[in-house]
Amino acid sequence: MTESTLSTTPKEKTVKMGRPARPSAAPVPWSVRGVEADTRRVIEKAAERAGKTIGQYINEDVRGFAQGQLVQTQSPTAPVDIQNQIDHLTKIVEGIATRLPEQGKKSVWQRLFG
């Protein structure tokens, strides 16, 4: 018998398991629960401009930004705020001092440093 007579049935294709193949031109959808569509579009555009995939962009740029926020210390308190706190505490201490017996009265600074 020849090969042509033996192969009368069409060749069977092997079926791969898993996610179906996508055409390369089609955009790959992604989602994170709670992320708005506008936010996704902005991230997609930023990743494209950076020449990265969305996963690379999130792993490198977004994580770097978030880590910077965690490391960043609080801005120092303005001198005016510190002075306001000192004035408030001074009034509290003076209010307590007015309730003490006369011989126990000392100024705030005498109490702190004397």
**85 lies in the same domain as 60:** no
**34 lies in the same domain as 68:** yes
Q: Is residue 51 part of a domain?
A: yes
Q: Which residues contact 111 (CB under 8 A, 6 or more apart)?
A: 93, 97
**66 lies in the same domain as 84:** no
Q: Is residue 109 part of a domain?
A: yes
Q: Flag whether the pTM goes above 0.75.
A: no
Q: How many domains in the chain?
A: 2
**84 lies in the same domain as 66:** no
**67 lies in the same domain as 83:** no
**67 lies in the same domain as 91:** no
Q: Which residues contact 61 (CB under 8 A, 6 or more apart)?
A: 46, 50, 52
pLDDT at 49: 92
**91 lies in the same domain as 68:** no
User: pLDDT tens for residues 24-66?
Assistant: 666 666 677 888 888 888 988 999 999 998 889 998 998 888 8
Q: Which residues contact 62 (CB under 8 A, 6 or more apart)?
A: 43
Domain containing 104 equals 79-113
Q: Is residue 3 part of a domain?
A: no
Exposure on the CB side of residue 6, measured as CA atoms within 13 A: 3
